[in-house]
Protein backbone atom coordinates (compact mmCIF):
# COMPACT_ATOMS: atom_id res chain seq x y z
CA UNK A 1 0.00 0.00 0.00
CA UNK A 2 1.65 3.23 -1.19
CA UNK A 3 1.98 5.85 1.52
CA UNK A 4 3.47 9.32 1.87
CA UNK A 5 4.33 10.72 5.30
CA UNK A 6 5.23 14.39 5.65
CA UNK A 7 7.16 16.30 8.28
CA UNK A 8 5.46 18.37 10.95
CA UNK A 9 4.06 21.88 11.09
CA UNK A 10 6.40 24.86 10.75
CA UNK A 11 6.22 28.48 11.86
CA UNK A 12 8.62 30.85 10.14
CA UNK A 13 9.28 34.57 10.01
CA UNK A 14 9.03 36.54 6.77
CA UNK A 15 12.22 36.28 4.77
CA UNK A 16 13.20 32.93 6.24
CA UNK A 17 13.22 29.55 4.46
CA UNK A 18 11.29 26.38 5.17
CA UNK A 19 12.05 22.80 4.14
CA UNK A 20 9.34 20.14 4.19
CA UNK A 21 9.99 16.44 3.75
CA UNK A 22 7.85 13.64 2.32
CA UNK A 23 8.83 9.99 2.86
CA UNK A 24 7.46 7.40 0.45
CA UNK A 25 6.83 3.72 1.11
CA UNK A 26 4.94 0.79 -0.39
CA UNK A 27 6.03 1.27 -4.02
CA UNK A 28 9.19 1.74 -6.08
CA UNK A 29 10.21 5.28 -5.22
CA UNK A 30 12.23 5.98 -8.37
CA UNK A 31 9.52 4.92 -10.81
CA UNK A 32 6.98 7.72 -10.38
CA UNK A 33 7.08 11.51 -10.50
CA UNK A 34 6.22 13.26 -7.28
CA UNK A 35 4.46 16.61 -6.91
CA UNK A 36 4.09 19.36 -4.35
CA UNK A 37 0.70 21.05 -4.08
CA UNK A 38 -0.32 23.80 -1.66
CA UNK A 39 -3.54 25.40 -0.47
CA UNK A 40 -3.51 28.81 1.16
CA UNK A 41 -6.35 29.64 3.58
CA UNK A 42 -9.56 30.22 1.65
CA UNK A 43 -7.85 29.50 -1.67
CA UNK A 44 -7.73 26.60 -4.10
CA UNK A 45 -5.14 23.95 -4.79
CA UNK A 46 -1.97 25.20 -6.45
CA UNK A 47 0.50 22.93 -8.26
CA UNK A 48 4.00 23.96 -7.16
CA UNK A 49 6.19 21.61 -9.12
CA UNK A 50 7.33 18.09 -9.76
CA UNK A 51 10.46 16.00 -9.26
CA UNK A 52 11.56 12.82 -11.00
CA UNK A 53 13.00 10.73 -8.15
CA UNK A 54 15.04 8.62 -10.56
CA UNK A 55 17.35 11.46 -11.60
CA UNK A 56 16.33 14.47 -9.52
CA UNK A 57 15.08 16.46 -12.52
CA UNK A 58 12.60 19.13 -11.50
CA UNK A 59 10.02 21.45 -13.04
CA UNK A 60 8.56 24.33 -11.06
CA UNK A 61 5.46 26.49 -11.48
CA UNK A 62 6.43 29.75 -13.14
CA UNK A 63 5.12 31.76 -10.19
CA UNK A 64 7.55 30.06 -7.80
CA UNK A 65 10.65 29.92 -10.01
CA UNK A 66 13.67 31.11 -8.08
CA UNK A 67 12.12 30.60 -4.64
CA UNK A 68 11.37 26.88 -4.58
CA UNK A 69 13.80 23.97 -4.67
CA UNK A 70 12.82 20.30 -4.79
CA UNK A 71 15.33 17.55 -4.05
CA UNK A 72 15.28 13.85 -3.30
CA UNK A 73 17.24 11.26 -1.33
CA UNK A 74 16.91 7.85 -2.91
CA UNK A 75 18.57 6.15 0.08
CA UNK A 76 15.60 7.07 2.28
CA UNK A 77 12.89 7.37 -0.42
CA UNK A 78 12.29 10.95 0.64
CA UNK A 79 11.69 14.14 -1.28
CA UNK A 80 12.16 17.65 0.05
CA UNK A 81 10.61 20.99 -0.87
CA UNK A 82 12.26 24.22 0.24
CA UNK A 83 10.73 27.66 -0.15
CA UNK A 84 12.97 30.65 0.46
CA UNK A 85 12.28 34.35 1.07
CA UNK A 86 9.01 33.43 2.75
CA UNK A 87 6.10 35.87 2.59
CA UNK A 88 2.76 35.88 4.36
CA UNK A 89 1.19 34.60 1.13
CA UNK A 90 3.20 31.37 1.55
CA UNK A 91 1.13 30.50 4.61
CA UNK A 92 -0.59 27.31 3.47
CA UNK A 93 -1.09 23.59 3.80
CA UNK A 94 1.56 21.85 1.71
CA UNK A 95 0.96 18.38 0.26
CA UNK A 96 3.18 15.94 -1.57
CA UNK A 97 1.44 13.63 -4.03
CA UNK A 98 2.27 10.91 -6.53
CA UNK A 99 0.85 8.30 -8.83
CA UNK A 100 2.53 5.85 -6.48
CA UNK A 101 2.50 2.58 -8.38
CA UNK A 102 -0.97 2.91 -9.82
CA UNK A 103 -1.92 2.91 -13.49
CA UNK A 104 -3.60 6.32 -13.18
CA UNK A 105 -1.49 8.17 -15.67
CA UNK A 106 -0.68 11.84 -15.08
CA UNK A 107 -2.84 11.86 -11.94
CA UNK A 108 -2.10 12.12 -8.23
CA UNK A 109 -3.45 9.05 -6.51
CA UNK A 110 -1.51 9.01 -3.25
CA UNK A 111 -1.25 12.09 -1.03
CA UNK A 112 0.67 12.96 2.09
CA UNK A 113 -1.23 14.09 5.18
CA UNK A 114 -0.24 17.71 4.63
CA UNK A 115 2.14 20.06 6.43
CA UNK A 116 1.01 23.43 7.72
CA UNK A 117 3.46 26.26 7.13
CA UNK A 118 2.70 29.54 8.85
CA UNK A 119 4.64 32.68 7.98
CA UNK A 120 4.25 35.31 10.65
CA UNK A 121 6.36 37.96 12.28
Partner 1 sequence: QSALTQPPSASGSPGQSVTISCTGTSSDVGGYNYVSWYQHHPGKAPKLMIYEVSKRPSGVPDRFSGSKSGNTASLTVSGLQAEDEADYYCNSYAGSNVWVFGGGTKMTVL
Cα distance between residue 48 and residue 108, in whole Å: 13
Q: Choose the stretch contacting partner 1; rule: CB under 8 A; options: 10-18, 69-77, 78-86, 94-102.
A: 94-102
Q: Does 42 bind partner 1 (CB under 8 A)?
A: no
Q: Which of residues 59-88 bind partner 1 (CB under 8 A)?
A: 59, 61-63
- Of 24, 35, 78, 94, the one binding partner 1 (CB under 8 A) is 35
> What residues pair up with 65 in beta bridges, in sequence order?
none
In angstroms, what is the minimal distance from the CB of 14 to partner 1? 25
Q: Does 102 bind partner 1 (CB under 8 A)?
A: yes
| Residue from 4, 38, 32, 9 nearest 105 by CA | 32
3-state secondary structure of 114: coil
| Structural contact between residues 14 and 88, judged by C-beta atoms closer than 8 angstroms | yes
Amino acid sequence: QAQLVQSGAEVKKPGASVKVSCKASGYTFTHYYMHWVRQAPGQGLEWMGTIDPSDGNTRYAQKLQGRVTMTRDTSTSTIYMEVSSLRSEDTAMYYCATRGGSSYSYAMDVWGQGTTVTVSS
